[in-house]
Amino acid sequence: MTDKTCAYEGCHEPVNSPHDDEYCIFHAPVEKKGEYSNFHNKIMDKQSRGDCNYKGFIFPKGFVFREGGRKDGGKISFLKFADFKDAEFYGDAYFSKAQFAEDADFTNARFFGCSYFNKTKFSKYADFSKAQFLGSAYFDRTCFDDRVLYESLKIKKLIEFTNISLAEKARFYFNNPDFALKGNECVRVVFDVVKFNPFAVYFENIGLASKVDNVCLIFRYCQLKDVYFTNNNMFLFSFYKSSYDEAMFISSKWGAEKDRILIFPYLRKNVIMEEKFLGDLSKYSDNDKAKKFREDYEIEDFSSHKDIAALYRRMKTALDNTKDYQQASWFYFNEFEMKRKAMEEEIESDPSKIRQVFNKLFSKYILYFLYKVLAGYGEKPMWSFYWLGFFLGVFTLLNYLIGVHPVINGPDISPNLWDSFIFALYRILPTNYIPYTRNFYVPPNFWGLLVPFLNTLVLIIMIAFIGIGLKRHFRRF
């Protein structure tokens, strides 16, 4: 027997001789622990003495935090401060049904296999800051009675919170995670059937530090009233079937997609994850792969752009409630764009090309299409302003070609572009602001009656669209 103690800071256990002459059996690397039964018995001894200090311990495969260290053992209670800081779990970590009567510290803990906290009860503060979940982690019917902190987690596969319970005074923080992406692997954080406490739940600084792909935070059947989402990449979030129209979205950004209006490219902003899901599903020719994709992201009955339109409408409501009208305008735009695409899908499902063309020209679809092109669904006043300038030029040229010109006492004036422009302009402006009155203009023929009528109608519509867009952009309540 040697008197040499463990080199781990603060540990006074003897070294694990002859397997390791530097660390004790608790802190020794897995390959230097010796017989598993020795490690198991010593842990059982600590538990029997109510010793809850596991700081820096390295747990080999097979150990379970249940009575007797067996999966079928009874639940175990930690009656003192449970310190698992810097601990490493090389097998699956089983904490199911465990009860933590005091604070539990899992700071910097590393879980190499799956970790199970099902039906675990945390009566006091639970800290998982900088923990590394390199396998899947499950929190099923877990109870949190006080503050719980998931700060700067490293997540490689899946963390699933299912039907967790938050006491009235509980505070839930999920901030600044690090998604350990590798190749085409996907990282998912799932919240399923959770009622979050209002003004006590914070999701902050998620997905902004670096470019992230194949990451999704999934909320299904969750109550998110007055939950804070601050400074996040909201494109990573999926709220399908959750109540989020009263959530607090602050200083966040959403995805964007390149699109076109006629021949003009533009960037459609505030795209949500569910729209990406629909695009991904359309790529699957294998029904089994499509089914697995739906199961993984819990979108089994998700099928069309109509479903996405409803999600955009609710997101618009949430941004309106926080007075963020600029962001809300894009959600309004996207809601109408999804409705237009839904109509387009329905029309193009008709096998007859002739009926497809007819239905596009003589249905609500053409109204949606023109409303988008000319006014950005009432949300883009600058688009209407550009069209106003374009149509003003068109009618100026038409007036010139049909020979509209002023007739004043004296010699007749030949048509010119300036007079044609003034004539196009006076159709929408009071006549006392321009050099000529209406009586000075004489229509030369039938076209001289029709074109001015269309001139007035089209330019007034453009001005109305500009007014609608400006009102929505600068409204104050």
Mean of per-residue pLDDT scores for the chain: 88
Tokens of 96: 């199911």
Q: How many CB atoms lie within 10 A of CB 187?
A: 23
Higher pLDDT, 219 or 72: 219
Distances (CA, A) of 280 to 145, 225, 236, 326: 40, 30, 15, 29
Who wins on pLDDT, 291 or 390? Answer: 390
Between 62-66, 208-212, 265-269, the lowest mean confidence (pLDDT) is in: 208-212
Residue 384 tokens read as 């209407």
Quick check: bond before 406 cis, omega within 30? Answer: no
| Residue 45 or 428, more confident | 45
Distance CA 147, CA 127 (A): 8
**CB-neighbour burial class of residue 22 (10 A; exposed 0-12, middle 13-18, buried 19+):** middle
User: Judging by DSSP bridges, how do beta strands 165-166 and 158-162 pair with one another?
Assistant: unpaired
How far apart CA 88 and CA 30 sit, in angstroms, is 10
Q: Of 2-16, 154-168, 263-277, 377-391, which gets the smallest average pLDDT?
A: 2-16
pLDDT tens, position by position, 30-64: 999 888 888 888 888 888 888 999 999 999 987 88
Among the listed residues 257, 243, 299, 251, the one whose alpha carbon sits nearest the alpha carbon of residue 274: 299
Looking at this protein, which amino acid is placed at residue 66? R
Asked whether the predicted pLDDT for residue 432 surpasses 50, the reply is: yes
**Is 296's pLDDT higher than 80?**
yes
Residue 437, SS3 per DSSP: coil
pLDDT for res 477: 40
Most confident of 160-174, 177-191, 271-285: 160-174
Question: What is the reported pLDDT for 186?
Answer: 86
User: Strand, helix or coil at 322?
Assistant: coil
Q: How far apart are CA 231 and CA 252, in angstroms?
A: 4
Name the β-bridge partners of 233. Answer: 253
- Contact between 115 and 131 (Cβ < 8 Å): no
**Domain ranges, ordered by start, for the chain:** 30-259, 266-364, 381-473
Tell me what percent of the residues of the chain surpass a pLDDT of 70: 89
What is the structure's pLDDT at 281? Answer: 87
Beta bridge pairs of residue 58: 88
Can you give the length of the chain in residues?
A: 477
What pLDDT does residue 415 have? 65
At residue 433, the pLDDT reads 53
Burial class (CB in 10 A: 0-12, 13-18, 19+), 308: buried
**Taking 70 as the threshold, does the pLDDT of residue 211 lie above it?**
no
User: Residue 72 — very low, low, confident or very high, per pLDDT cuts 50/70/90?
Assistant: low
In percent, the amount of the chain with pLDDT more than 90 equals 58
Q: How confident is the model at residue 437 (pLDDT cuts 50, 70, 90)?
A: low
pLDDT tier at 434, thresholds 50, 70, 90? low
The whole model's pTM is what? 0.87
SS3 at position 121 = strand
Query: Among residues 80, 179, 172, which one has the least CA distance to residue 127?
Result: 172
Residue 155 belongs to what H/E stretch? strand 154-155
444 pLDDT above the threshold of 80: no
Choice between 201 and 47, residue whose per-residue pLDDT is larger: 201
pLDDT by residue (tens digit) across 179-189?
877 767 789 99
Q: How remote is the C-alpha of 162 from its chain's centroid?
A: 19
Sheet with 115-116: list strands edge to edge: 93-94, 115-116, 137-140, 158-162, 187-192, 215-220, 237-238
Integer Cα distance of 82 and 77 in angstroms: 10
- Of residues 447 and 262, more confidence is placed in 262
Per-residue model confidence (pLDDT) at position 440: 54
